[in-house]
Structure formats: C-alpha cells, structure tokens
Structure 1
Amino acid sequence: MKGAAPRRPLAVLVFSQVLSGAGLAAGITVGALLAEDMLGSTGPAGVPSALFTAGSALGAAGIGRFSQRRSRRSGLVLGYGAGVLGSLGVVAAAALDSVLLLFPSLLVYGAGTATSLMARYAGADLVPPDRRGRAVSTVLCATTLGAVAGPNLVTVTGDLATAWGVPRLAGPFLLAAAAFGAAAAVLVCRLRPEPPPADRSAGGPPDERAAGAAAGPGTAAVRRRGLAAGAAVMVLTQLAMIALMTMTPVHLRAHGHATQATGLVIALHVGAMFLPSPLTGRWVDRAGPHRVAVASGVTLSAAGLLAALAPPHSVAALAAALLLLGLGWNFGLVSGTTLVTAALPPARRAASQGLADVGIALAGATGGMASGAVVAAGGFPVLALVCGALAAVVVPVAVLAARGAGAPRES
C-alpha cells in the first residue's frame, strides 16, 4: 500500500508531460530558422536558443521559489501559463515581422520549457530515495510522445499558419501554445493529491527527518559534494547539447536539406533525450548516479566527434550524431537530478532545485548564443569538436565526486 498513493498523481504528471512535450520542441525545431529569416544572417541564429534558455533560467528560479511557498502544482501551472503567453507572442512577432517582439516573446516562452523539465522533481517527491531515478525517468519519458511528434508536425502546423495568414515557421509555436495550455489545464483539474510539499514546520517527511538527525558533519560534506557534482554534470551536458543541437538545423539547410529532413533529425534527437529514461532510471538506482554520469560524458564526446566527421550531405550520419547527443544528455540529466535531489533536505528542496535548473538554463543560453558565432568563424565541425571536449569534463567531475562520496550509491 505504501506505493499506491503516488500512482494517481504520478499518472497525471505523466499525462501533462505528454502534452507539454509538443510545446518543448517548437523552439528547438524552428527557432533558429525563424530568426535567420527575420534577421537575414546566420550569425545571430543562435540567439533564439539563448533567449528561451535564458528565459528558462528565470522561469526555473521563479517556479522553484513559488513552488516552495505555495505548491508544486501552482508552480507548474504558472510556468505553463507563461509558455502559452510566450508562444503566442512569437506567432504575433512572425506575423508582424517584428524582431523587437520576437526576442522578449522567446524569453517568456522559455519559462514553459523550464516547467517541462522541472516536473521531474515533482515525480521524485512522490517516491522513497531508492526509487528516485525511476520516478525522474518516468516523468521525463512521458515527454517523448509530444516532443517527438512536435518536430514531425512542422509541415502540418506550417500549413495551418499559412492558412491563417501567419509565416509558415511560426506554425510550431501555435502548437506550443495549445500544448502548454492543455498541460496546465490537466494539472489544475486532475493533480490531486499534489506531490507532497516540503514539511515547513518539521523539515520534511519522518524518514528523511530521522536520517537528517542521525547525519553527522561528514554526511553534510558528502551532500555538498553531491550537490556540486550533480549541478556540474547537468550544466556541462546542457551546454554541450544545446550548442550542437541549435546549429544542426542551420547546418542541414545550408547544405540543401529540406525542412522535413531537419524535423526528422530533431525528432530522433529529442526521442533519444527522453525515450531511454526508464532504463536510465533503473541504471541509476542500481549502479549509482556517478557511473551513469561518466557514461554521459563519454557518449556526448562521441556525439561531438561523429558530428564533426559526418559528411555535410549525409542526413543519416548527422542523425546518428544527434541520437548520441540526446542519449548522453539523458544520462547526464537523470544522474545529475538524482545527485542534486539526494543532497537537498526537503525543507529547501524545491527552491534549491530551481536554482540548480537556473545553472542548467544559463549553460544552455551560453551554448545557444555562442554556437552561431563559432559556426560563423570556424564552421560546424569546429563547434562539434568544442562540444565534445566540454562534455569530456563530465568524466573527471563524476569520478572525483564518487571518490569523495566513498560509495557508489546514495541513500
């Protein structure tokens, strides 16, 4: 009976993630292309990614603090509402050909993408510590259906946008507005009981309070190292993934590939980001997050090398590189999230998790902003090699953290 209570709210979280996944993919698929068309240059094509990841940083901080003060559900609904507003703003900017409206709208849209990722923490709240990896991965995997379908609906949503007198590339943002709105409605109407908030009066659930009371200074130091390692793993994987992913659609179009091919490559990439999550979660729970983090660094480095060596006219080679990129990101996010959650006491977990996601979003903003400039200066292969080198840093970070923890698994 102990595991029965969380099943219904976890199922609602899963359903809302399926819906929100379609909104998550819009900026990835056509954001850079829309900016390139409106600005007439490849150099600033990384700006949309930078803006909506910067917006996700602001959203993560705000959602985390709001969730700590009110509830997980309230924070998620607030974030999805911002995603709706930002998506509609992007559509209006495209219709008016207004860069001044496009950039702030992308910033607000980023809050919706932050919400989709922060829902994984709500899943972790519903289970005991030894099942956190699986809970996080269940919520992430639910994003797959919408996130994979979104890029493949580029043509359909483009036709709809054209029929409504809106530029074709704004079509996916119409889908994003509907997806984020539906996800918010599901949470408002169906998420009862909510994921348990931090017990502000007593400092958390009884089992975790007892563990905290028994913990000595050494345990506190281990938790601090776990927090730093988990945040570093997620930041590095996000930086490498966003930078390479952002410029892949531009690279494909520059070599004569159709938008449909771009949508397919991105769909495969996003699928690799989320679909392996159940297996990743079990791997984290059994082998420990440090080992999975090492695998993340190795996989992302291989993705960068393959992307650098891939012939520019080979969609299959670039798709394989993006598959590895998504898989490495998945390993890093699930293992990093587990490390961060294990290191935080319940009384300040939601707010601190929001701050950890601020670091992730800022890393993504940096990668998105720099990616266009790197490609303009040295080409796509140079960008891919730089991303692979950055990802390789995850390996020593995870190894050193595991040695400091003194055990391969967290309690």
Structure 2
Amino acid sequence: MPITVWGLALGTALLVTGNILLVSVTALVGQQLAPSPLYVTLPVALQFLGLMSAALPAAHLMQRLGRKAGFLIGNLVGVGGAGLAYQALAVEHFGLFCTATFLLGISIGAGQQYRFAAIEACEAPLRPRAISLVMAGGVVAAVLGPKLAVLSGHFAPGREFLGAFGVLIGLYLFTLALIAWLPLPKPEAAGSAAGPARSYGTLLRQPLLFTAIVAGSIGYGVMVLVMTATPIAMHGHHHAFGDTASVIQWHVLGMFLPSFVTGRLISRFGEARIIQSGCLLLALCCLVAQWGAGYWYFWFSLVTLGVGWNFTFIGATSLLALSYRPEEKARVQGINDFVVFGCAAFGSLMSGHLQLWLGWKMLNLWMLPVIGLAMSLVWYAGVRARSGVEPGLA
C-alpha cells in the first residue's frame, strides 16, 4: 500500500480524534455559555452546518489546487477555529464560540476528502482496501479521543474545557505538518480531463451513483440518529453515566475496527453484498432494541449499529468511485458528502425530539422502512448491472 494511504490513515485518525473530543465537550460548553436553554445545542448544529457548507467548495478547490493545498487550507481553518474556541472560552463569549464551531465544521468537511485522496493514490484493485485502511484510523481515535477529553480537563485548572481546545490546536498543527510532508499529487497529475463534466442532473440520473449516495446517506443518517438518542434512552432507563460512556465507546470501535477487513470483503464479494450486509446489521440493531433495555441489549445494539454503518459507508464510498469520470470527481464527491453529511446533521438534530416523542423502541422501528429503501435500491442497481444496463455493481 502506498505511503500516501498510510499517511492519510494517520490524518483520519487525528481528524476523528478531534471530532470525538468536540463531541465530548461542545454541548457542555454550550450549556455553560448559552444565554438560554434553547441555544445549548446551537454550537453543535453550526458545526454540522459548517461541514455541509464545505462539502462542495472543498471538492472543487482540491480539483483546482490539488489535494495538498486543499488539505493544508482545511487544517489552517481548523487551527483558527480551535484557537477562536479557546479564546471564546477564556472570555466566556457564546457568539464567538458558535463562530469557532462553524469554522471547525468547515475544517472537518475538508478532512472528509481524505478517503477520496486515498482512492486516487493507488491502483483500482487496491482501492477498497485503501478506503478501509483510511477509515481504520478511527480505531485509534476511539481509544485516544475519550482519554484526551478526560486528561485535557487537568491542563487548565478552574477552566474545565479550555484544555480540550488547546489539545485540538495541537492535533490540527500535527496534521498540518503531516499533510505538508505527504507526497500528494499536484492538480495536473490528479487526472486528465477526457471531456466536459456531465451536469448534476445527468449524473444523479445514473442508478449506480444515485444508489451509492442514498445507501451512504441512509447508513450514516440512521447511525447518527440512533447513536445520538442512545444516551437519552439509557438515562431514561436508569443506566449509570459510566455504562452509557462504555456503550458509546464500544459503538465507535464497532464503527471503525471492521475497516481492517471491509476492503478485502468488498474485493471478494462486491460492493452490493457488503452494503446489503450492512443494512441487515442496521436492521438487527433496531430489532434488538425491541427485546429489552438492559445494558447488554444496548451494548449489542450499538456495536451492531457501528459495524452496519462501517459496511454501508465503506461499501457506498467504494461504489461511488465506480460511478464517475476523472473530470467529474469534484462534482460527484462534493454532492455525495453534502447529501451524506446533511442526512447525518438532520439525524443528530432530530434524534432527541424523536426519542422524547416516540420512545426508544418506536424510534428504532421507524428506522426499518428507511433501511429497507436502501436495500431495495442496491438490489435494483444490481439487477440492472447483471442485465448489462448499468455496469459496475456485482
């Protein structure tokens, strides 16, 4: 595997570590600084808004300037956002903190392109394994992120969360140096255009591309919605906070640990079977929630949810790479991330409301038809591929 892919895997590990650190403290900081309880989760929402806003521009910027320049700019924005958040906490300014989380979201949006850069850094047969290796960086983050969140609380006595953003500045600076060192292709070497790129409408009418985007969006949206509702549900069933933290940590390991083998499974069985398997695991998660509300029910449900997300997301990313020409990569990668992370943002914003309105069991039941939609689309695209109408999906 090329050194570039290993470097991007480390970059992803640092990115996700920072994300977990943010997840651990942002809502709590909002609770401290917000002028009203209505605005407590505004910093989280603005982070997702920044991520969505960056998806299309980041893809086009990297096509014009190259991956290295795009990732360097993204990490510089991250350093600025983390520094602004540090200052906002120091002076206890909520508006400044909201601006900082928006900038951090933009930086995270640019970092989501690491997996696409890994695809471009190796030959076609190695691409599923390259995606898996980059995503496997999240295993490091699953262990390191929560530990840094706890340890950073001791860095600035009397200022509980100030140290977290000092650590975040350090993570972005380290990633900045890593990207500067990596041998990423220049824009002219990233692929030569064979003709004009097709319009968004024409691209989205391809069943293969549409299926990849919808499968990735549903997998991500269902995962984020159920994961975000879990702490509320466990609290409602009188579980200790330590049990909830344990379940979430195992869930994150379930999300990223299978990445070491997912690429090989895709190479052997094809994208369609892996996405379908992921959907079945997501459905199993929702069914387990109907059987009980003890610790081990939540544990098994959330680990299954994580593995299901891994299969659907990596399978959909690999499938996406088959659906566009080199000159169309910015359009396709940008619109894919905009839709996928838009669904993730919607899931995170709706999860608390749905948990309160529907309850844990009914919330999970409502996910089954959505998962069924993804499975139906993958099946339909597979039928077209086998009939020769739409190539690329085994």
TM-score range, shorter chain: 0.7 to 0.9
1:305-324 equivalences in 2 (<5 Å):
305-307=287-289, 309-311=291-293, 314-324=294-304
* 5+ residue gaps, structure 1: 1-5, 205-219
Give the distance between the partners of 1:246 and 1:372, measured in 2 at CA: 7
2:63 maps to 1:72: no
Tell which has more relative contact order, 1 or 2 (C-alpha 8 A, sep 6+): 1
Cα pair 2:222 2:367 within 8 Å, conserved: yes
Cα distance, 1:339 vs. partner?
Answer: 1.2
1:139-218 equivalences in 2 (<5 Å):
139-161=134-156, 163=157, 165-168=158-161, 171-188=163-180, 190-194=181-185, 197-200=189-192, 202=194
Task: Name the amino acid aligned to 1:160.
Answer: F
2:4 maps to 1:9: yes
Give the distance between the partners of 1:304 and 1:99, measured in 2 at CA: 37
Cα pair 1:137 1:281 within 8 Å, conserved: yes
Aligned to 1:302: 284
Cα distance, 1:148 vs. partner?
Answer: 3.0
Cα pair 1:9 1:191 within 8 Å, conserved: yes
Once the two structures are superposed, residues 202-252 of structure 1 have per-residue CA deviations (whole angstroms, 9 ceiling, x without a partner) of: 569xxxxxxxxxxxxxxx999922111100111111111111222333444
Give the distance between the partners of 1:45 and 1:257, measured in 2 at CA: 24
Q: CA RMSD in A?
A: 3.1
Task: Name the amino acid aligned to 2:297.
Answer: A
Give the distance between the partners of 2:305 and 2:384, measured in 1 at CA: 28
Give the distance between the partners of 2:76 and 2:125, measured in 1 at CA: 33
Task: Name the amino acid aligned to 1:281.
Answer: G
Give the secondary-structure state (helix, strand or coil) at the position aligned to 2:322: helix
Give the distance between the partners of 2:368 and 2:99, measured in 1 at CA: 31
Cα pair 1:14 1:138 within 8 Å, conserved: yes
Once the two structures are superposed, residues 263-296 of structure 1 have per-residue CA deviations (whole angstroms, 9 ceiling, x without a partner) of: 4332222222112113111111221111111112
Aligned to 1:269: 251
Give the distance between the partners of 1:328 and 1:12, measured in 2 at CA: 26
In structure 2, the CA distance between the partners of 1:240 and 1:34, relative to structure 1 (3 Å rule), is farther
Cα distance, 1:331 vs. partner?
Answer: 0.7
Give the secondary-structure state (helix, strand or coil) at the position aligned to 1:166: coil
Give the secondary-structure state (helix, strand or coil) at the position aligned to 2:12: helix
Cα distance, 1:106 vs. partner?
Answer: 2.2
Give the distance between the partners of 1:54 and 1:180, measured in 2 at CA: 20
Cα pair 1:24 1:176 within 8 Å, conserved: no
Correspondence for 1:325 among 305, 318, 326: 305
Cα distance, 1:38 vs. partner?
Answer: 4.9
Task: Name the amino acid aligned to 1:125.
Answer: E
Aligned to 1:82: 77
Normalised to the residue count of structure 2, the TM-score between the two structures is 0.86
Cα distance, 1:141 vs. partner?
Answer: 0.7
Give the distance between the partners of 1:371 and 1:42, measured in 2 at CA: 17
2:125 maps to 1:130: yes
Aligned to 1:345: 325
Cα pair 1:222 1:405 within 8 Å, conserved: no
Cα pair 2:154 2:160 within 8 Å, conserved: no
Cα pair 2:193 2:326 within 8 Å, conserved: no
Could you tell me the percent identity over the aligned residues?
A: 26
Tell me whether 26-35 or 100-109 shows the greater mean CA deviation: 26-35
Cα pair 1:55 1:108 within 8 Å, conserved: yes
Once the two structures are superposed, residues 164-209 of structure 1 have per-residue CA deviations (whole angstroms, 9 ceiling, x without a partner) of: x4234x6544433322221122111x112538753345569xxxxx
In structure 2, the CA distance between the partners of 1:241 and 1:130, relative to structure 1 (3 Å rule), is same
Give the distance between the partners of 2:245 and 2:150, measured in 1 at CA: 9
Task: Name the amino acid aligned to 2:177.
Answer: A
In structure 2, the CA distance between the partners of 1:120 and 1:221, relative to structure 1 (3 Å rule), is closer
Cα pair 1:79 1:112 within 8 Å, conserved: yes
In structure 2, the CA distance between the partners of 1:57 and 1:257, relative to structure 1 (3 Å rule), is same
Cα pair 2:272 2:393 within 8 Å, conserved: no
Aligned to 2:57: 62
Correspondence for 1:357 among 337, 362, 372: 337
Aligned to 1:248: 230
